[in-house]
Amino acid sequence: MGRRRIRAYIGLGANVGDAAATLARAVRDLGALPGVRVRGVSRLYLTAPWGVTDQPDFHNAAVALDITTREQPEAAALTLLAGLKALERDAGRRQRARWGPRELDLDLLIFGRHRIVVERPPEARSVEAEIDPAKAARQLEVPHRDLGERLFVLAPLADLAPGLVPPGWHEPAETARDRVASQDPSAAARAIGEWDSASGRWRRR
């Protein structure tokens, strides 16, 4: 089987410690995964926490990756997801309650034009799987099941691909961002930095 190239989009989030530095390191680490090349990095956003509001604001961003693989799409997506979870553990992610603080959160948002629903192997599960039965049983769903309703991922995704219509959608990312922002002004995502590829970090506004 020949090699194929797939464009993937990853959502990044953190609100523990120096979150901006953690996300910048995650961008560099993503580019070091086998068969992965970073093709774009969004602005850095400050967003209100989701679900559990009694915690620090999050820093969020998104990254576009080119994945070169010989695997079938489902297997390739699981390989990438396992890499994301390993990076979370390397960043010190601890077991916490759902929607609680995060040292690093990496979500596979979109994987080319593929719609994927597949059981996660142990290496592709969140660290919370051991304490949260819902996460232990959760399947990988791509596009990410909550992507269309969460501004903290829609805003950075629209930076990278405003006209992208994810598989199964009927609107581009930019339109979805504007729709969600208008429905819930309290969920505002404020851009606070621009990615500087030379230094490998965000330049603060």
Closest CA to 92 of 100, 82, 80, 104: 104
Quick one: tokens of 117? 């629903």
Are 50 and 150 in contact by the 8 Å Cβ rule? The answer is yes
Residues 53-84 as b/e (b if ≥16 CB within 10 A, e otherwise) read eebeebbbbbbbbebebebebeebbbbbbbbb
Are 15 and 122 in contact by the 8 Å Cβ rule? The answer is no
Residues 97-112 as b/e (b if ≥16 CB within 10 A, e otherwise) read eeebbbbbbbbbbbbb
Are 14 and 93 in contact by the 8 Å Cβ rule? The answer is no
Are 42 and 171 in contact by the 8 Å Cβ rule? The answer is no
Determine the residue type at 116: I
Which are the catalytic amino acids?
93, 102, 105, 107
Closest CA to 99 of 136, 173, 48: 48
Among all chains, which residue has been given the structure tokens 């967003």? 47
